[in-house]
A and B are shown apart, each in its own frame.
Chain A
Amino acid sequence: MNVAKRTFDAVIVGAGGAGLRAALQLSEAGLRTAVLTKVFPTRSHTVAAQGGVAASLGNTTEDNWHWHMYDTVKGSDWLGDQDAIEFMCRKANEVVVELEHYGMPFDRTDNGKIYQRPFGGHSMNYGQAPVMRSCAAADRTGHAMLHALYQRNVRANTQFFVEWMAMDLIRNDDGDVLGVTAMEMETGEVSIFHAKATIFATGGAGRIYYSSTNAFINTGDGVGMAARAGIPLEDMEFWQFHPTGVAGAGVLITEGVRGEGGILRNDAGERFMERYAPNLKDLASRDVVSRSMVTEINEGRGCGPDKDHVLLDITHLSPENIMKRLPGIREISIQFAGIDPIKAPIPVVPTCHYQMGGIPTNYRGQVVVPKDGNPNSPVVGFYAAGECACASVHGANRLGTNSLLDLLVFGKSAGETVVDDFKSGNLMLKPLPETAADVSLARIARLESQKNGESVHEVRLAMQRTMQKHAGVFRFDNLLKEGVQRILEVAERAKSTEIKDKSQVWNTARTEALELDNLIEVAKATMISAEARKESRGAHVRDDAPDTAERPNGRDDQNWLKHTLWYTAGNRLEYKPVNLKPMSADVEPIALAKRTY
Chain B
Amino acid sequence: MSKRTVQFKIYRYDPDKDQQPYMQDISVELEASDKKLLDALVRLKVVDDTLSFRRSCREGVCGSDAMNINGKNGLACLTDVDSLAQPIALRPLPGLPVIRDLIVDMTQFFKQYHSIKPYLINDEPAPERERLQTPEDREELNGLYECILCACCSTSCPSFWWNPDKFVGPAGLLAAYRFIADTRDQATSARLDNLEDPYRLFRCHTIMNCVDVCPKGLNPTRAIGKIKDLMVRRAI
Contacts and interface: CB of A to CB of B under 8 A. Distances in A.
B78 A335 contact: yes
A107 interface: yes
A151 B118 contact: yes
B61 A143 contact: yes
Given A47-B62, A103-B184, A109-B135, A152 B49 contact: no
Contact of A112 (B48, B134, B182): B134
Contacts of B101: 506
Interface string B35-61: 100000000011011101111111111
Given A102-B119, A114-B130, 7 more contacts: A42-B62, A43-B64, A101-B122, A107-B135, A137-B145, A500-B48, A506-B52
A215 interface: yes
Interface in B89-122: 99-101, 103, 106, 110, 114, 117-120, 122
Given A143-B61, A154-B114, A216 B56 contact: yes
Given A505-B15, A506-B99, A500 B133 contact: no
A331 to B, nearest CB: 7
Contact of A248 (B33, B100, B130): B33
Contacts of B196: none
A55 B148 CA distance: 26
B56 A43 contact: yes
Nearest to B64: A43
Given A40-B106, A147-B145, A215-B56, A186 B99 contact: yes
Contact of A217 (B14, B53, B56, B132): B56
B233 interface: no
Interface of B: 14-17, 33, 35, 45-46, 48-50, 52-64, 78, 99-101, 103, 106, 110, 114, 117-120, 122, 126, 128-135, 137-138, 141, 145-146, 148-149, 179, 182, 184-185
Which A-B residue pairs are the 4 nearest by beta carbons?
A103-B120, A112-B132, A509-B49, A151-B119
Contacts of A328: 61
B50 A152 contact: no
Interface in A97-129: 97, 100-103, 105-114
A251 interface: yes
A331 B138 contact: no
A505 B14 contact: yes
Given A151-B119, A503-B100, A505-B99, A216 B146 contact: no
B221 to A, nearest CB: 21
B184 A503 contact: no
Contacts of B14: 503, 505
A107 B140 CA distance: 11
A457 interface: yes
A108 B136 CA distance: 9
A455 B62 contact: no
A45 B54 CA distance: 14
A139 to B, nearest CB: 11
A44 B62 CA distance: 7
A92 interface: no
Contact of A39 (B17, B64, B78, B129): B64
Contacts of A494: none
Contacts of B48: 500
A438 interface: no
7 contacts: A39-B56, A105-B141, A154-B114, A154-B117, A456-B49, A500-B50, A509-B45
A507 B52 contact: yes
Nearest to B39: A249
Contacts of A248: 33
A332 interface: yes
A216 B103 CA distance: 17
A343 interface: no
Contact of A101 (B57, B131, B135, B146): B131
Given A40-B106, A105-B141, A509-B49, A112 B133 contact: yes
Nearest to A144: B145
A356 B221 CA distance: 44
Task: Count chain B CB atoms within 10 A of each CB in A44, A47, A508 and give the residue with the most.
Answer: A508
A155 interface: yes
Interface in A500-534: 500-501, 503-509, 512
A503 B57 contact: no
B185 to A, nearest CB: 8
Nearest to B100: A506
Contacts of B148: 42, 47, 143
A106 B49 contact: no
A508 B61 contact: no
Contacts of A503: 14, 16-17, 50, 100
B138 A501 contact: no
Contacts of B118: 151, 154
